[in-house]
A and B are shown apart, each in its own frame.
Chain A
Amino acid sequence: MADNRNNGEKQRHTIALLVENQPGVLARIATLFSAKGYNILSVSVGETIDPEISRITLVTEGHPFIIEQIVKQLRKLIDVIKVLDLTASGEDYVERELVLVKVSARGEARAEAMRIAQIFRGNIVDVSPETFVIEFTGNEGKINAALSLLKECGIREVIRTGKVAVLRGPKSLKIS
């Protein structure tokens, strides 16, 4: 087993799922990941235009062999209607994450935080005499860059939504 499982480098995959919008569905997915020893790096869930269906965007990491198993195991769940491994699909896709950062904004840090927010097209959504809350959206690279620069100012809290992703162009993930 060891031989097969460890073939190839660990990869990070973004997987999109359409699921029944019912209680317990997320628990089923979480149980699957913990029971099989898979990793969830991030997960975000929301209702689709059809209130009976939710869309989940899940980021996971593993050897190619494990990723293949994850997709197959997800498909086995009765409440999971559709699974698309965006990373493996060969299609282009847009991925975004929203982050709220509470940073110290006293003295020199105040101007610095504002400049960084501006450079990364963040919005300052809350202001107090000693802090800003800045909202950033973007892909992982952009957000990590913004956060690492903001460290200088003093980060008090970071809240990340987890990734959402969608295929570029007219193709879309839907129930056939």
Chain B
Amino acid sequence: MKLKGADMFWEVLIKEGVEVVFGLPGGAVINIYDSYPKYKDKVKHVLVRHEQAAVHAADGYARSTGKPGVALVTSGPGGTNTVTGIATAYMDSSPVVVFTGQVPTALIGNDAFQEADIVGITRPCTKHNYLVKSTADLPRIIKEALYIASTGRPGPVLVDMPKDVIVGEAEFVYPESVKRRGYNPNIKGHPAQVKKAVEAMIKAERPLIYAGGGINWSGAFDELKKLAETIHAPVTLTLMGLGAFPGDHPLFIGMLGMHGTYAANMAVTECDLLIAIGARFDDRVTGKVEDFAPDAVKIHIDIDPASISKNVVVDIPIVGDAKVVLNQILDELKKADVDWEKKHRRWLERINYWMREYPLTYERSDQVIKPQMVVETIYDLTQGKAYICTEVGQHQMWAAQFYKHKYPRHFISSGGLGTMGFGFPAAIGVQVAHPDALVIDIAGDGSFQMNLQELATVAQYNLPVKVIIINNGYLGMVRQWQQLFFDRVYSETDISIQPDFVKLAEAYGIRGMRVEKPSELKTALKEAFEYKGAVVVDVRVDREENVLPMVPAGASVRQMILTEPKTDTNGEALKRMRPINFPS
């Protein structure tokens, strides 16, 4: 059967089980859009308002389902606008496939209208990318792209399709399988290494499980829980791992790293066995590497051999899929005759002491809304059942700290790249994937303004996304650094001149709410969550609240700043502070 490239595109996506494409049309992909009505019963298209949002939405879809997310954009600026989205997905190993239109093959290199070398531009931030040379290749390449994106260590793949490839006709051959001789991810852990890991567990007195986003991608939730409960070891999670282990489990000791809990960072410092699973020893986690788990034997389970011993040299590397390797370990552990509870009792007592003595806390107030209180209230109202998306900054860290992340794939946040403006379009993707779920974007006022055009998308598809803006009129995380490390020179971080978010929402036909008093917070959020459509809630919070604890960049993780610094310049800074205002 002969088909046009444009039809092959949809045929293959449908055959591959793709349910939704996030996109924005343009000249180079107009024929694909022309074909779309024929396929619209089998695959949904969500029209975004900016290509960056298409990729974040596809990313949110992928993170909340574990399946690849797909975006479709035009050539030139359509492609270049996706770069931030692609880099975001790359850093967090998210399986996103981005299809870009390209000028006709004959014009490539000619500086044609809306031409950009998107394959060249995205080479360093994709797992792989393609320039399709002929229509006949299209089905194979689309299948490969989805396969490569979602297997091994997942990551974004870009497929650049010149207009003549899209318009041209060829025999439609759908390949049943993918064969790439240069791509064979290692799934099963080496048995000898697994044995060594178990021996180390038997020997250890102070073990700590440190797990990350790899658990989510591999779906190793039950296995992780089983391991922790079997060997009776405390668990700390990275930002990307939150929800992979129940946040209300007695063995969970909180997130670690720069804004981790005291208990988690002290446990890392004092453990004698560190079991890293699907985590990559990021600098925000390790702080000064020399002081990271200095006395520990280190086991590292990761699907990507290049992640192993990249930042921290490990003793027992195991290359493989987290779920498979954990099952191997659990099997091996069955042979061990150890009273784990007794062996680790003193260690867990010590950790519980740290948790009791230095819990995550803040100074409560009935005068002004504390940002942490907003997150706590969201948790109270949802009991951890909502999908929580975040932007990047202070609110992101509070959302990580003060919400108990109980369920896997329910916390969606840009960790590696730290992309402000990620959360809202990601929430769109999550909502599309889970139409009946409560999806909340915990946003900052700075971040939200980076992709607020997507209010139109939310309005168009009646997506009941709840945007809770923790509004402090600052680029708050930078302001915090300026306060702590730059002598309170709040250089260009005051964004108190901002739109009236309530009116802004209303301008898009969406409900807007404002909350200014602590006493009104719970009722307002409850109302927002129960409302059947999208809501933007502008929550005015204490402007100079800090995220604590904090490990200064480059310091050892045990060197945490635990309490709000009080300096004599406090008053001066407050005098300089403008009230949050709308431009007149």
Name A residues whose Cβ lies closer than 8 Å to a Cβ of B.
1, 3-4, 19-20, 24, 27-28, 31-32, 35, 65, 68-69, 72-73, 75-82, 175
Contacts and interface: CB of A to CB of B under 8 A. Distances in A.
B124 A24 contact: no
Contact of B310 (A69, A77, A79): A69
30 contacts: A1-B283, A1-B289, A3-B289, A3-B290, A4-B289, A4-B313, A19-B182, A24-B131, A27-B120, A27-B123, A28-B123, A31-B123, A35-B124, A69-B306, A69-B310, A72-B306, A73-B306, A75-B305, A75-B306, A76-B304, A77-B182, A78-B127, A78-B128, A78-B180, A78-B182, A79-B128, A79-B182, A81-B182, A82-B182, A175-B181
Contacts of B306: 69, 72-73, 75-76
B124 A4 contact: no
Contacts of A27: 120, 123
A20 to B, nearest CB: 7
A111 B49 CA distance: 75
A32 B126 CA distance: 11
9 A-B pairs with least C-beta separation: A72-B306, A81-B182, A78-B128, A35-B124, A31-B123, A78-B183, A72-B305, A81-B181, A80-B182
Contacts of B524: none
B311 interface: yes
Contacts of A65: 309
With most chain A CB atoms within 10 A of its CB, the pick from B120, B123, B283 is B123
Contacts of B562: none
B148 interface: yes
Nearest to A31: B123
A28 B123 CA distance: 7
Interface residues of B, number: 23
B456 interface: no
Nearest to A76: B306
A24 B119 contact: yes
A79 B306 CA distance: 16
B502 interface: no
Contacts of B313: 4
With most chain B CB atoms within 10 A of its CB, the pick from A19, A20, A72, A175 is A72
Nearest to A5: B311
Contacts of A32: 124
Interface in B179-196: 180-183
Contacts of B182: 19-20, 77-82
Given A24-B119, A35-B124, A4 B181 contact: no
Given A19-B182, A24-B123, A78-B180, 18 more contacts: A1-B283, A1-B311, A3-B290, A4-B309, A4-B311, A20-B182, A27-B120, A28-B123, A69-B306, A69-B310, A72-B305, A72-B306, A75-B306, A76-B305, A77-B182, A80-B182, A81-B182, A175-B181
Nearest to B286: A1
B312 interface: yes
A85 to B, nearest CB: 14
Contacts of B310: 69
A32 B305 CA distance: 16
Interface string B69-105: 0000000000000000000000000000000000000
Contacts of A73: 306
Interface string B114-131: 000001100110011001
A31 B311 CA distance: 21
Nearest to B133: A23
Contacts of B304: 76
Contact of B312 (A4, A28, A72, A175): A4
Contacts of A68: 309
Nearest to B153: A76
A36 to B, nearest CB: 9
A31 B180 contact: no
A75 B305 CA distance: 9
A68 B313 CA distance: 12
A156 B515 CA distance: 78
Contact of A78 (B148, B289, B312): B148
A28 B129 CA distance: 10
Interface in B116-173: 119-120, 123-124, 127-128, 131, 148
A66 B120 CA distance: 25
A97 to B, nearest CB: 27
Nearest to A81: B182
A131 B148 CA distance: 55
Contacts of B123: 24, 27-28, 31
A23 to B, nearest CB: 8
Nearest to B290: A3
A114 B184 CA distance: 53
A65 B229 CA distance: 36
A24 B128 CA distance: 11
A75 B304 CA distance: 10
A63 to B, nearest CB: 12
Contacts of A3: 289-290
A19 B182 CA distance: 8
A24 B182 CA distance: 15
Nearest to B310: A69
A65 to B, nearest CB: 8
Contacts of A19: 182
A79 B183 CA distance: 8
A81 B128 CA distance: 14
A28 B313 CA distance: 27
A1 B286 CA distance: 10
A73 B290 CA distance: 24
